[in-house]
Each structure stands twice: as structure tokens, then as C-alpha cells.
Structure 1
Amino acid sequence: MMANKEMNNLLDDIMIEKIATAPVNELMAEYNISANEIQTTQSRFLDRVKKHKQQLKKNRLKDARAQLEAEKKKHDTVDVAGFLAKKGKDAKAILIDLLLQQKLPENLTIAHREGKEFTDEDANQIIANLIAMGVIDVDDKGD
């Protein structure tokens, strides 16, 4: 049964290819159709392809938005204060420890502060981002 379905699909593909590559005058003669009918069919086909491509783009955008929302939720659920209390250190001390232990990602960069002080809030935000990215494991028992 499956072989028959595959055979029918193959024959359909061959027929579609034959029709798609055939000259217009040959199609007109073989199927007794006019140039207007061919143009109408071609226009409908192109319209369907365009709509399908638009739907695919919308679906990709929808998926990307869903992934972005999931990432935002990760950041929203980070309990930096609880993590710091558990460690008994402030965020700056933890960042220094991670730097000394070479546990920070190689591609991690911190923006130039233009002479401004690196605040505790800045350090807390970096810790929150590292937790959300999975660089820091909040459930890590051995330290």
C-alpha cells in the first residue's frame, strides 16, 4: 500500500515537472486552454506561493517572539538577593571569585564605564544575567 502511495507521489512530481517545464504553446494545444487561462492560473499559483511565504515569515517571527519571552522569563525569575544571601557575599566579590577561577565565559565583555563607578546594582545585574544564561548554577552545592 505504501509503495503505491510513493509511486503516485513520484508520478505526480513527474507530471508537475513536465507541465512546469513545457512551453506555453504546447500546454495550450495539449490541454485546449487559452493564454488568458494560463495567465490566470499562473497568477493564482504565484499568489498562493506569496501567501505561503508570508505565513512562514509570520510563523518564524511568532516562534522568535516566544523564545524571547521565554528568555525574559528566565531573567525575571532570577533571585539574585537569595543567591547572594546563600553565598554570604556581595555581587562584586562573587564576580571577582569567578574571574579568578576563570569561570566566566571567554567572550564576556563589560561596557566601558566612562569614569563612572561600578555600582552594586551593576554587579547585581551582571550576576542576574550570568544566572539566567546558565553560567552560574544557583543550585551548585560544591563551591
Structure 2
Amino acid sequence: MMANKEMNNLLDDIMIEKIASASVSELMAEFNITADEIQTTQSQFLNSVKKHKQQLKKNRLKDARAKLELEKKKHDSVDVAAFLAKKGKDAKAILIDLLKQRKLPENLTVAHREGKEFTDEDANQIIANLVAMGVIDVDDKGD
């Protein structure tokens, strides 16, 4: 039974290869079809491929949006005040400690402040971002 299935698959592959490599005139003669029928079939095939491609793009976008929403929820759930209270330090002190311990990501950058003071709110926001990114574990007892 298995040999028959393998033989049928091999024959199918040979037929597909023969059809794919045949010229249009050969196909028209072999299958008794017109050029219009070939164009119609080709158009239907291309439309089908286009629809599947569009659906794939929509699915990727839907997945990306879902991941973004998950990240937003993770970011929104950060309780910086409770974290700071637990540590007994302000955000600036924690950032300095992380910098000294080299626990900040190497590619982390902070926007140029144009001579403005770095506020506590700025530091709190950076802490919230680092928690959301997973750089700071708010449940870590060893920190």
C-alpha cells in the first residue's frame, strides 16, 4: 500500500514538472484548451495567491498588535512608587546603583536634556521603562 502511495506521489511530481516546463502551445494542444482559458486560470491563480498574501500580512499585523498590547499592559502595570518604597531609595539613586553595577543595557540611551534638570519624574519614568523591558525585576529579592 505504501509503495503505491509513493509511486503515485512520484508520478504526480513528474506530471507537475512536465506541465510546468511545457510551453503554452503544448498545453493548449495537450489539454485542448484555448489561450483565453489559460489566461483565466492564470488570473484566478494569481488572485488566489494575492488574497493569501494579503491574509498573511493581516495575520502578521494582528499578531504584532497583540504583542504590542501585551507590552503596553506590562508597562502600565508597573508600580514604580511601590518598587521605590520597597527599595527605600529614590529613582535617581537606583539608576546610579544600576549604572555602577553595570546592569543597564549597553545600548540604553537617554535623550539630551538641553540644559534642563533631570527631574524625579524623568527618573521614575526611566525606572518604569526598565521594569517593563525586563531590565529591573521588581520581585528580585537580591537587588
Deviates more, 1:121-130 or 1:3-12: 3-12
One-letter code aligned to 1:29: A
Match of 1:64 in 2: 64
In structure 2, runs of 5+ residues without a counterpart are: none
Match of 1:39 in 2: 39
RMSD: 1.6
Q: What is the CA-CA distance between 1:101 and the residue it aligns to?
A: 1.1
One-letter code aligned to 2:26: E
Residues 1:84 and 2:101 aligned together: no
Please give the alpha-carbon distance, in whole angstroms, between the structure 2 residues aligned to 1:141 and 1:106. 24
Match of 2:134 in 1: 134
Indicate how the Cα distance of structure 1 residues 46 and 98 shifts in structure 2: closer, same or farther if over 3 A, else same. same
Q: What is the CA-CA distance between 1:14 and the residue it aligns to?
A: 3.3
Please give the alpha-carbon distance, in whole angstroms, between the structure 1 residues aligned to 2:141 and 2:20. 65
Alignment partner of 1:135: what SS?
coil
Please give the alpha-carbon distance, in whole angstroms, between the structure 2 residues aligned to 1:104 and 1:90. 17
In structure 1, runs of 5+ residues without a counterpart are: none
Written as runs of structure 1 = structure 2, the 5 A alignment for 1:94-105 is 94-105=94-105
Q: What is the CA-CA distance between 1:6 and the residue it aligns to?
A: 5.4
Deviates more, 1:68-77 or 1:12-21: 12-21
Indicate how the Cα distance of structure 1 residues 89 and 43 shifts in structure 2: closer, same or farther if over 3 A, else same. same
Match of 1:117 in 2: 117
Aligned length: 143
TM-score using structure 1 length: 0.92
Indicate how the Cα distance of structure 1 residues 2 and 95 shifts in structure 2: closer, same or farther if over 3 A, else same. farther
Please give the alpha-carbon distance, in whole angstroms, between the structure 2 residues aligned to 1:66 and 1:84. 30
Indicate how the Cα distance of structure 1 residues 4 and 87 shifts in structure 2: closer, same or farther if over 3 A, else same. farther
TM-score using structure 2 length: 0.92
Residues 1:73 and 2:100 aligned together: no
Please give the alpha-carbon distance, in whole angstroms, between the structure 1 residues aligned to 2:137 and 2:12. 55
Q: What is the CA-CA distance between 1:8 and the residue it aligns to?
A: 4.0
Q: What is the CA-CA distance between 1:13 and the residue it aligns to?
A: 3.6
Flag as ranges the 4+ runs of structure 1 deviating above 6 A. Answer: none
